[in-house]
Amino acid sequence: MKYSILTLFSVFISFSVFAQTYNPKVSKDSLSVLTNRVEVLKSSIKVLELKIKESEEEGDVEKLRLKLLEANGNAKASSEKNSGNISNSGSIVDSKAVEKLSKKAKSDDEDAKKALDRYNKQIAKVEDIRTQIQGEERKLNYKKPLIIYIYK
């Protein structure tokens, strides 16, 4: 009986010792690798967000290109109409009609210039975003961890 009580007591003590020890499953090196991976994932997310923003801005560029083509067409048509009206009228000139056509041509020309400015600004935005993407991708290439994470 004494032997069984001693055995039981020693087993109990050994279990309590094992229960109190902590064996980490992640080493310190693995923790730094995991931290680096999280940083790489954050950078990847940032690159993807910039690419999404770039595609949205490119859609706006296409819309502005169509508006620019329309404004240029309007300006060309009104200037041709103005020059055609003046050349066809000969010596008899209706000053009010000529003035109205010239104002329309001037207005269309200004609209075309504004459309061109908006188009160029939008292209500059897209190019800026592309530059940011290239910079982030370069940073991302430097951050890739070379150590493989091993879970014990």
Question: Rounded CA gap, 152 and 146, in Å?
Answer: 19
The better pLDDT of the pair 102, 51 is held by 51
> Domain segments of the chain: what residues?
24-143
Q: How confident is the model at residue 125 (pLDDT cuts 50, 70, 90)?
A: very high
Provide the pLDDT for residue 117: 93
Interval 4-34: pLDDT, tens = 676 766 666 666 555 566 666 666 667 777 8
**Which contacts (CB < 8 Å, 24+ apart) does range 119-123 have?**
119/61, 119/64, 119/65, 119/67, 119/68, 122/57, 122/60, 122/61, 122/64, 123/61
